[in-house]
Structure 1
């Protein structure tokens, strides 16, 4: 026998309405992939590897990533922006000293790369701001590890409200 479907937010039993489920407490419709059984909570994505290739993702693709992934990408993007800025400054100094301006194209290319990674940082910061309520000043490996530890220690028990009273026996 199949367990009755429950809301992943409040644990209430759900009613099926067409291809969706309805939660009377939360007053919302849920997609079948969101629905839980046995009063369980939504699982947390626990991806621990973030790759710099993810920086090329579009904003809608980035919106699907976990908060941990976004924090990791922000760390990578900020490092890349620092390196781009240093490279841009190097080309500017070379072109300032060289009257023929032999590296103008390189300076312009570095400048456009710097602007692109800065815009990507804006996207990542704003996505994190929506989720966390603030933009992290810096993202360190230690902070990422602490974030993962918080995920591991998170509440995972079922959302059940006990309605019967527990009567303790007194020893005489």
Structure 2
């Protein structure tokens, strides 16, 4: 059986593969980067192409924030930033609702039916607030691990600037350019 030579997408050292392009080892012998996972997914490149490093999800929404940390680690940094933006907005929305309910509780003008359910609603909103705050903490800590800081404000201008930086560093790679263009179309 003939061996195919492919490269680690991080250090570009040769990784020996079988004739189907599957690496014999799970990690690069030089930098120890994962080149094959337990499911058989292969992360290799040829001709010094960096494109396998940019793996993105089709669409990101608030449901993604509820995924476990090992799954969130697979997200691209920009996707985590977009997700953090969504989570912060949801947390702020719920906090505003919580404040409204607390003000209503102090008011003497609330209808009888609403007054009966208000304590339960306050508890539910409070619980939701702390749930989204925890999701926000997870995302901020993942970004802190990767970037060394937590972005204070993430808005569309920030995301567009990040996309432009990524595009300018990948002008020679049409695959990365295609992914970045689709991200731009989806989120901006």
TM-score by length of 1: 0.76
Aligned position for 1:5: 6
Aligned position for 2:87: 77
Aligned position for 1:140: 155
Any unmatched runs of 5+ in structure 1?
A: 159-172
Aligned position for 1:166: none
CA distance 1:27–1:87, change in 2 (3 Å): closer
Q: Helix, strand or coil for the counterpart of 2:14?
A: coil
RMSD between superposed Cα atoms in Å: 3.0
Higher-RCO chain (CA-CA 8 Å, sequence separation at least 6): 1
Any unmatched runs of 5+ in structure 2?
A: 174-188
Contact 1:15–1:23 at 8 Å: present in 2 too? no
CA distance 1:34–1:156, change in 2 (3 Å): farther
Aligned position for 1:169: none
Does 2:27 align with 1:26? no
Which range moves more in the overlay, 76-85 or 97-106?
97-106
Q: Distance in 1 between matches of 2:34 and 2:72?
A: 25
Post-superposition offset of 1:86: 0.9
Does 2:78 align with 1:68? yes
Residue-by-residue CA offset, 1:37-96 (whole Å, 9 max, x unaligned): 223224413557432232332333222211111111111111111111111111111112
Size of the aligned set, in residue pairs, is 158
Higher-Rg member (1/2) = 1
Q: Which has the higher helix share?
A: 2
